[in-house]
Amino acid sequence: MKTASNKVLGLALAAVSLAFAQLSAVPTPSKDAGVKKPFTVKRGDCELTMGGKAKVEHFFQSNIDMLNRSIPNENEYFKETVDLTFDVAYGKEKYGHTAAEFFLDLRHKGVWGKALSYADKDAGAIGPNSVRLSDSVFGAHAHTSGKPLIWYKDAWLQFSWNAVLGVESDKVHTFKAGWFPFEMGRGIAFGGVYGLNKENLGLYSYAEDKAAPGLLLHGDLIKDRLSYDLYFSRFEERSKSLSDTLASVKRHRIDLAPSGHIWRGINKDDDLIAGRVQWNPCKGHDTFGTMMVEPYAFYNAASDQTVELSPDARTNWGSYGVMLEHEVNGFEWGVETAFNYGKQHLFNIDRNTTELKRDANGFIVEQYTHIVDGPADNANKVPVTTNSQAAAAVILANQNYSTNVAIPGYPMFYSKTKRYRPAFDNHFAGWMAVADMGYTFEKLDLKVALGYSYASGDVDPTVDERNKTFGGFIGLHEYYTGKRVRSVIMLDERLTRRPQAISAGQFDPKAGDFTFTDLQTVGISATWTPKCFIKDLSINPNLIGFWKAKPGYAFVATPTDRKHYGVGSMTDKAASYMGTEFNVCTKFSMLKDLNFYANAALFAPGAYYNSVKGVSVDARLFSDIEDDPRNNITDALSFRLGTDTAYHLNVGIEFKF
């Protein structure tokens, strides 16, 4: 028995020994375990770093465009965005800093099941893409593709002047060229979202989902404390070839000298120059925290812009401003203000063109838009067709610019009242200011913030055709959604129609634009990151009130009038309170750099939308609804701008690598 017991004990000891041996063979996790490092390939003093991100998201929106539940205004779709980035850097070992660098961001973006949805909804058109038959414009065109496309969002080359000139200094000066984002301040006066247009002012740019092309000279004046940037960009190119400069684009200009030409000519591009200084006065003084002061200015020379007929305007303008950001001991605050300067010149033009219409017998005819058979104030006036005896002369009959009088040599034909537009200037004097602050309660894992913003507004500057000052703020390539207090519906999605201030007696006012202008906001937010029991979770509710900076006059709708949707009141002013937005933005890191997020928001319209209820906003969008009797439209107000609450929900997954 004793021998057997010894054998059993020996086997047990051997098993325990073997188990410990196996455990000791298991490698101990290193300190780098679980840390996701970038993909790099190094050869000598040259290093390639690869990365990117992939995002799939779903959207649901109700009443967000027209605030009107009587129409099918419900959007629901999926969208994905994929970026692959490649960065090649050389010279860090030899020169102590990156001597040369190339960066490329390849992007694909698309809405599932919808062709040509690669650019975001805010991109808009470069300008009028008209379809013509002879001289008649009868529609617009777009080219579609069912194939998923890949393009480059950023592509730039940068080198160090220090390395090129052999200067050893801790103050590095670089030169960058290519397609790259650049903005000043918070990106309100001049932002980095290339392709956002202001059609009511005739300001356009190349509308694609990629950065603007440019040249950038950057340098340190005092290392880590004072630096400068000088930037140049060409937004539109119109001098690449003889076909560009020789194009007969001035056919509607009537302010040309007798020896003038209708071709475009040279130097009609859209160029921008900008400069800024960034100063950190608190560097080296930890007691005062961190601070950044950034004064900036830019100038934009935009020729051959389009307000009515391409090209009929020239803009020479810009902005100057200053931003300040400061953080110390859990408290942070920031302010920025900017002012527009310069002017837009609108040329003297003849608005008369041709269009295709059906006559009383149902036949399609080509007719003039601003010439009628008989006195122009006659209710029974008939447009003149181009096959009449005046066809060869009415366009060129510019020896008499009077309206509602017989055209010399053709006593039966009259010019409409609005045929000729005089030349006039809109001088820009808009301004904006934003301020916010926040405090972080470390023990509660909570940050609370307050925010205020103001951007001046004005009425449509093209309605009153005389020299004047336009007081609405203009931001170039701006897409500001808020810094410490964020707006999802009104400033991020930017789908909700916001009519421009209406003048007294103004017919069919324009819908305005969606940019950061004619706006005043007050908001509060909280950001809770409960590290005590859930890691990498962020919950951010925001409550924001919106006001019009210039409300204008109330809108008096005409439900049964299909020619004029209504008119600005002669006596009643519009209310200024636009409404309240409440949103909650959440984010949760499921794995390292694998994030789930959800943004929910609602916008409850205020008294302002009651004042402008019934504005048509976009007559072209609803023309088929009105004209087709099967829709049984008895009250046109049922599909115009309303006062119903808008809802938005966006959920997605994003992985960065």
Distances (CA, A) of 476 to 187, 195, 204, 210, 340: 9, 9, 10, 15, 11
Concatenating the DSSP letter of every residue in 95-142 gives HSS--EEEEEEEEEEEETT-TT--S-TT---SS--EEEETTEEEEE--
Residue at token pair 């000298």: 257
Contact 210, 120 (CB under 8 A): no
| Residues 646 and 507 placed together within one structural domain of the fold | yes
Alpha-carbon distance of 359 to 362, in angstroms, equals: 5
pLDDT, mean of residues 342-355: 89
| Residues 497 and 631 placed together within one structural domain of the fold | yes
| Residues 493 and 631 placed together within one structural domain of the fold | yes
DSSP conformation class of 445: T
Instruction: Return the ∠ at Cα 208 (arms to 203 and 209), rounded to 5°.
Output: 125
Contact 123, 196 (CB under 8 A): yes
Question: Which of 377-381, 626-630, 635-639 shows the lowest per-residue confidence on average (mean pLDDT)?
Answer: 377-381
Alpha-carbon distance of 74 to 84, in angstroms, equals: 33
| Residues 515 and 412 placed together within one structural domain of the fold | no
Note whether residue 412 is domain-resident: yes
φ, ψ of residue 517 to 5 degrees: the values are -150, 155
Q: What is the pLDDT of residues 521-543, one digit of tens each?
A: 999 999 999 877 667 899 999 99
Note whether residue 480 is domain-resident: no
Closest CA to 344 of 319, 317, 320: 317
DSSP conformation class of 70: T
Of the candidates 404, 421, 438, which is a domain's last residue? 421
Closest CA to 325 of 279, 275, 285, 286: 279
Note whether residue 128 is domain-resident: no
Note whether residue 407 is domain-resident: yes
pLDDT of 23 over the 50 cut? no
| Residues 503 and 640 placed together within one structural domain of the fold | yes
Instruction: Return the ∠ at Cα 140 (arms to 135 and 145), rounded to 5°.
Output: 135
Closest CA to 273 of 350, 190, 202: 190
pLDDT at 623: 62
| Residues 601 and 525 placed together within one structural domain of the fold | yes
Strand duo 173-179 + 213-222: pairing = antiparallel
Dmax of the chain from CA atoms? 137
Residue at token pair 């104030």: 377
**Count of domains observed in the chain:** 2
Q: What is the pLDDT of residues 124-155, one digit of tens each?
A: 343 445 555 545 555 555 555 556 778 889 99
Q: Is the dihedral of CA 466, 468, 470, 476 positive or negative?
A: positive
Q: What is the pLDDT of residues 547-606, one digit of tens each?
A: 999 999 999 988 766 666 788 999 999 999 999 999 999 999 988 899 999 999 999 999
Note whether residue 498 is domain-resident: yes
Strand duo 468-470 + 424-428: pairing = parallel
Question: Which amino acid, residue 68?
Answer: N
Note whether residue 253 is domain-resident: no
| Residues 647 and 501 placed together within one structural domain of the fold | yes
Alpha-carbon distance of 552 to 432, in angstroms, equals: 19
Instruction: Return the ∠ at Cα 156 (arms to 205 and 48), rounded to 5°.
Output: 150
Write a three-state SS string for 155-204: EEEEEEHHHHHCCCCCCCEEEEEEECCCCECCCCCECCCCCCCEHHHCEC
Q: Is 432 helix (H, G, I), strand (E, B) or coil?
A: strand
| Residues 498 and 369 placed together within one structural domain of the fold | no
- Rg over CA atoms, the chain: 31
Distances (CA, A) of 395 to 12, 197, 254, 419, 435: 109, 31, 11, 11, 54
Q: Dig out the tokens for 193 from the structure.
A: 């979202």
> In 578-622, where does DSSP find H-type helix?
607-611
Q: Is the dihedral of CA 408, 421, 272, 491 positive or negative?
A: negative
Q: What is the pLDDT of residues 163-173, one digit of tens each?
A: 999 999 999 99
Alpha-carbon distance of 375 to 415, in angstroms, equals: 8
More confident residue, 469 or 565: 469
Strand pairing partners for 253?
Answer: 349
Q: Write out the H or E segment, with its range, that includes residue 571.
A: strand 566-573
pLDDT of 204 over the 60 cut? no
pLDDT, mean of residues 369-396: 62
Note whether residue 365 is domain-resident: yes
Closest CA to 82 of 104, 114, 58, 56: 56
pLDDT at 8: 42
Alpha-carbon distance of 349 to 255, in angstroms, equals: 7
Average pLDDT, the chain: 83
| Residues 378 and 518 placed together within one structural domain of the fold | no
DSSP conformation class of 500: P
pLDDT of 447 over the 50 cut? yes
| Residues 413 and 558 placed together within one structural domain of the fold | no
Q: Dig out the tokens for 297 from the structure.
A: 């200015």
Which of 109-123, 139-153, 351-365, 583-597 has the highest average model confidence (pLDDT)? 583-597
| Residues 389 and 502 placed together within one structural domain of the fold | no
31 contact partners, CB below 8 Å, separation of at least 6: none
Note whether residue 373 is domain-resident: yes
Alpha-carbon distance of 296 to 300, in angstroms, equals: 14
Residue at token pair 């005739």: 202
Q: What is the pLDDT of residues 173-199, one digit of tens each?
A: 999 999 999 999 999 999 988 876 565
| Residues 647 and 536 placed together within one structural domain of the fold | yes
Q: Which domain holds residue 596?
A: 485-651
